[in-house]
Structure 1
């Protein structure tokens, strides 16, 4: 029987599609380490893996099971570049920094693929990704994007899709045009997190599930992480809890906001061959983005970021079904085998929050829906930084990420109002 996450609603198709996940024993007693890590998602486990490989004594604690958070329940899409299109960063920061950020994301993409190959992890990587426009007024920007990417960012892998090509590749006439990216794709994220945990343990990292951290302090040159099962005393610590930080680390919580993301999975669509015949992944141009893809076994996984009043899996399916039928009316009577949700960490400007929040304590999170690439790579970069290397984490550290208005009490309702406003604009 698939494990039901206590922190996220519904059993994901990812969980249903695999054998039982390996279990890792909780922390038992107090320990010392060079580096302590709180959070066992992509960031934390990659940091633990790379630190252990470098011979660093590292201990990691995860409050639940590896994969219960966003790293094991997300849409599985890579994308290209950062959260925005590169020309948007260019307007904000200028071409040199925008190019550095783009190149960093490309290295992140290659890192995940190389890591999976080197560790024999079948992440079910499937190539091809589309960004499609739900409004015709975006045409100027969509047409310019491939040319800008090729000429200014040395990325010749995009092409503009006219309406006919868009409809053929999607199996739907719902969108007006799009951009096709042949040099990226999508994966099975739970298989990656399972393989990553195994690789981290094999490298010598001490990793523990079902061990929630209750307090983090820094004093007298040491970091102490308290849990119900013992205290970790370390020289340095990484907080990699992202959307699930809550009250544990207040600086992170004020800058990284959890937002609900929900996905439904159909049975294999063998009777609907026109729907995504190339099995690419798709994201649309809405602010409250809809994202979907075909799995290796021909299922449609369809996600939308909305904050719903209910977290019951059957009601998640009802909300997602309405969005599916707008694009694929033929699927109106096709049931979901799984409907699930989870929480994504976002920041105000939609790029990661990387800071030293106290002596010896670094926090990394807020990938804003781009975490399959960036979370893995940032974990690796943190390990490089601890080893004394100059890293690209400094690019993120230098970007201004303001805190959310309203504090912990009012930020959620304010964000709900903002998202509701943008969702209304998406429909106009």
Structure 2
């Protein structure tokens, strides 16, 4: 983990428009705390903030910079629910608990909106999310999901549109219909993460950057978190490392897979052109398994994401490759240049359900957000704080979900996943 120290944020549009450059010193010497949180992405910062609000002393340790990994590089999509379908939960729990899971999936959105308002986080939070159908058969699946959400969970927010109604969200002939969700949306993820970190610091959390954890051990009834130049002794530990958990917790690393995902930002289009391109200013994703996603930025750029890589190798000439994909949806942008292209890893689980639990009675973890991390991390932080405070019922619901190791071990699991994803890409084309 040492190689991640002293690295700047990815050279993205997010980093270019960051509104907080507050540095935090590296950990030196010995510290004591009720809780030590490892990893200052959205999961770790959310957990630290929730714990501090409950009166716990918290030390938050980050190997590089706050928001350095997926939390500060992702597509900024705020998506209600979870990456897996609700029937994934139904395999492991009764329907009453499945409904509780649905409620928590919606609560993830409320948590983000509440935090933004409470801490006055300037992160361009915008409501509205549109899932665009790539093929006629996908329109039926979206309508069925709208009906199931209403019947099974009492949710009537989804609105299906087709024909000219699609043009409200995306000026493209590519999509025959789609499902609009008024409660989901999009934001600037790096500014959101840094805003939560400011709130955590104000609540008393001690944040240390450029402090990779080298070892986690037990000693005389406490957990000791060691770095190159210091250590923290704490009763509780929270692992919020996601794709970088590595040797710190090999049992967790086997349950997740790093997947590369990439984003480009165009030059500013101007207010009128952007308004014509995406009138509702909602975030958009398509309905394929290996999908594209895009949204307007406040300075009238188009942010376009996709080119998901299961091999961990970035596509060659990333900006040009993604621009070609963008033009399949928006051929009218053929004259527009790309200003930024960046990417990084997110973690996925085999079943796409989030993986929350304990390594031991006082060592908690949350990982495997599978593309829904912008908001689901807020729930993870809240549930971990609840559990440490003695209210573990909601956290323990996630412990009912069985998570398998990725097959093939450290050597063969990536090639195996590449082959599996090739099958899904073929299905998307049929």
TM-score band by shorter chain is over 0.9
Give how far 1:119 is off.
0.9
Q: Runs of 4+ in structure 1 displaced over 6 angstroms?
A: 4-9
1:207-230 Cα shifts (integer Å, max 9, x gaps)? 111100011123543212111011
In 1, the alpha carbon distance for the partners of 2:41 and 2:312 equals: 26
Query: What TM-score, normalized to structure 1?
Result: 0.93
Residue of structure 1 in register with 2:378 after alignment: 376
Partner of 1:116: 116
Residue in structure 2 matched with residue 349 of structure 1 by the alignment: 351
Q: Do 1:77 and 1:186's aligned partners in 2 also have CA atoms closer than 8 Å?
A: yes
TM-fit CA distance, 1:18: 2.3
Structure 1 segments unaligned to the other structure (5+ residues): none
Query: What's the counterpart of residue 75 of structure 2?
Result: 75
Q: Secondary structure of 2:300's partner? A: coil
Which residue of the partner structure matches residue 332 of structure 1?
A: 334
For 1:203 and 1:111, the matched residues in 2 are separated by 17
Secondary structure, counterpart of 1:337 in structure 2: strand
- Encode CA deviations 1:336-363: one digit per residue, 9 max, x unaligned: 1111101101100001111212342122
- SS for the counterpart of 2:365 is strand
The corresponding residue for 2:151 is 151
Aligned CA distance change for structure 1 residues 344 and 7 (closer, same or farther; 3 Å): farther
Residue 17 (structure 1) aligned with residue 40 (structure 2): no
Matched, 1:421 2:423: yes
1:236-315 to 2 correspondences below 5 Å: 236-270=236-270, 271=273, 273-307=275-309, 311=314, 315=317
What is the correspondence of 1:154-165 to structure 2 with a 5 Å cutoff? 154-165=154-165
TM-aligned CA deviation for residue 427 of structure 1: 2.2
Tell me how far 1:231 sits from its aligned partner: 1.7
Question: Size of the alignment, in residue pairs?
Answer: 424
- From the superposition, tell whether residues 255 and 182 of structure 1 become closer, same or farther in structure 2 (CA, over 3 Å): same
Look up the match of 1:320: 322
Q: How far is the alpha carbon of 1:96 from its aligned partner? A: 2.5
What's the CA shift for 1:421? 2.5
Q: Please list every run of 5 or more consecutive structure 2 residues that lacks an aligned counterpart in the other structure.
A: none
Do residues 403 (structure 1) and 405 (structure 2) align?
yes
Shift of 1:77: 1.2
Q: Cα deviations across residues 76-114 of structure 1 (Å, max 9, x unaligned)?
A: 111222213446755886643332111001112111111
Deviates more, 1:355-364 or 1:156-165: 355-364
Q: Per the alignment, do residues 5 and 304 of structure 1 end up closer, same or farther by CA in structure 2, a change over 3 Å counting?
A: farther
Residue 295 to residue 94, structure 1, CA distance change in 2 (3 Å): farther
The TM-score with structure 2 as length reference comes to: 0.93
Q: Do 2:84 and 2:351's aligned partners in 1 also have CA atoms closer than 8 Å?
A: no
Cα displacement string for residues 306-357 of structure 1 (whole angstroms, at most 9, x for unaligned residues): 2277548x82212211210111112223111111101101100001111212
Deviation at 1:243, TM superposition (A): 1.5
Separation in structure 2 between the aligned mates of residue 146 and residue 101 of structure 1, nearest angstrom? 17
Over 3 Å counting, the alpha-carbon distance change for 1:53 and 1:290 in structure 2 is same
Alpha-carbon RMSD: 2.2
The answer (yes or no) to whether the contact 2:159–2:179 under 8 Å persists in 1 is yes
Structure 1 residues 286 and 30, CA gap change in structure 2 (3 angstroms)? same
Distance 1:6 1:348 in 2: 32
